[in-house]
């Protein structure tokens, strides 16, 4: 019963706030440097040799910060309530593929929002639609709540990648700010590849 109530509450709040694009005029808050390497959360690293990128294993619901082919830190994530492989606006799916990332910026709904450059120009030519996809934290006021839930939080976003706490998105934001030209690779099953598309 509790699990069902939590699922619906997180889903409703998340869909209401995730569907709104963050304010373009928001300025990033001060960030602390990312903590030292905590290693990957799984037995095998999702990082391709030499890769520096954010890698999301959508099957395992894990976001990993990869640097020079090494996993630096990993976080559990919630994805789109409609699944993966986004094709159109309103499908509530998280896109698959490799995308550029915008600068982390303050968000009135999620503390911090990192824009994902979906759709790519090639996807747009194929008719893919949608916008306001990003990496972010929990909806305002839910950071402490989601961190205490002992089970995996259900997929609740409108297509974004959401970590459980403000502290986690702060660490991701600090890591991204310290790197040039960050990218994100979202795959249904992580298998290391050489290079990014």
> Which pLDDT tens digit goes with each residue over 69-121?
999 999 999 999 999 999 999 999 999 999 999 999 999 898 999 999 999 99
Higher pLDDT, 131 or 147: 131
Higher pLDDT, 76 or 8: 76
User: 177: which 2 tokens?
Assistant: 């700010």
d(CA 79, CA 195): 24
Q: What domains, with CATH codes, occur in the chain?
A: 2-187 (2.40.440.10)
Full-prediction pTM beyond 0.85?
no
Q: Is the dihedral of CA 78, 139, 132, 116 positive or negative?
A: negative
d(CA 125, CA 74): 34
């Amino acid at each position: 019963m509790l699990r069902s109530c939590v699922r619906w509450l997180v889903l409703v709040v998340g869909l209401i706030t995730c569907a709104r694009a963050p304010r373009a005029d928001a300025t990033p808050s001060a960030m602390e440097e990312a903590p030292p390497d905590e290693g990957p959360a799984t037995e095998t690293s999702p990082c391709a040799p030499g890769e520096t990128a954010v890698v999301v294993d959508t099957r395992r619901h894990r976001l990993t910060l990869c640097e020079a082919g090494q996993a630096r830190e990993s976080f559990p994530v919630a994805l789109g309530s409609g699944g993966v492989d986004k094709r159109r606006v309103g499908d509530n799916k998280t896109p698959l593929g490799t995308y550029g990332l915008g600068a982390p910026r303050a968000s009135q709904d999620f503390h911090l929002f990192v824009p994902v450059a979906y759709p790519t120009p090639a996807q747009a030519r194929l008719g893919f639609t949608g916008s306001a996809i990003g990496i972010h934290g929990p909806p305002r006021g839910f950071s402490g709540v989601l961190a205490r839930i002992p089970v995996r939080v259900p997929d609740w976003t409108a297509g974004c990648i959401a970590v459980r706490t403000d502290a986690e998105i702060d660490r991701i934001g600090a890591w991204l700010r310290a790197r040039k030209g960050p990218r994100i690779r979202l795959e249904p099953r992580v298998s290391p590849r050489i290079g990014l598309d």
